Amino acid sequence: MPESSSSVTDSLKAGNRVVAIGISAIVLILGAAALFLFLNLPDADEFNRRVEQLFVDNNDMTSGAEIKLLEILAQSGTSFAEVLQSYRFVIFVLLAFSTALLIATLVFLVTIIALNRRISTIQKSGIQVASMLISREARAVYINDMEFQLTEAAMETLSVLAEARLDDEILTGVKIESVISGRSEADCDEAAGATRIKRLRDTLGNQLVSELLVKTVARRGYMLAVAKDAIRMI
């Protein structure tokens, strides 16, 4: 148990390091890109300075049409500066949005990987059931601290599987149907037993939990993935 806890802690630390490094890398890359863009964008007042220089260089332009042209150029420079300023704001918003999106993607990716590893570990080791109490009178099964209400048919199927687990037996669908129905195995078929297993899993609810608790052993049948000493029946 300590080794398992240490392994989980190490995995959590490694995952946190990956997330921290990934977020830092995203922020640094996008920060550098933003700095490069803003440094290379033309100055908002550059156009105005050029227009001002035109006024200085052409102080002999005194006719009404020429002055009007210079005024139009000045107004254009002001409009250009305002547009360029709005572009800067749009670029900043897009970069901020890209940063948030990439960070969220990284976090989701690491979370999915961690969940897949946990599911893989559970599938390999099975569910760790410390105790399983089957109460026929209450038609309920208590797994660790969780209570599951069962139908009469599901209770019969679970009881048969529990008794088989105590005897280290793996039951086929035919055997399960035969024990529950009281008929000979020759008069039963595999599909009927498989249907009982499916209904038991449906009654337990959570697909992952039910399929790992009631395991299917390839070409052999079905069994409970529970230690014998953890099962009690009342």
Q: Output the pLDDT for position 169.
A: 87
- For the domain covering 132-233, report its CATH number: 1.10.10.10
- pLDDT for residue 69: 67
- Render pLDDT for 159-210 as a digit per residue (tens, 0 to 9): 899 888 888 888 898 999 998 988 898 888 899 889 988 888 888 776 556 6
pLDDT of residue 8: 47
Residue of 206, 215, 228, 124 lying closest to 171 (CA atoms): 215
Residue pair 81/114 in contact by the 8 Å Cβ criterion: no
- pLDDT tens per residue, range 34-79: 777 777 766 666 666 776 676 667 666 556 666 676 667 666 766 7
Pick from 32, 40, 43, 41: nearest CA to 98: 32
Per-domain residue ranges of the chain: 2-125, 132-233
Q: Are 132 and 162 in contact (CB under 8 A)?
A: yes
**Reported pTM:** 0.48
Sheet holding 140-143, edge to edge: 146-149, 140-143, 132-135, 231-233
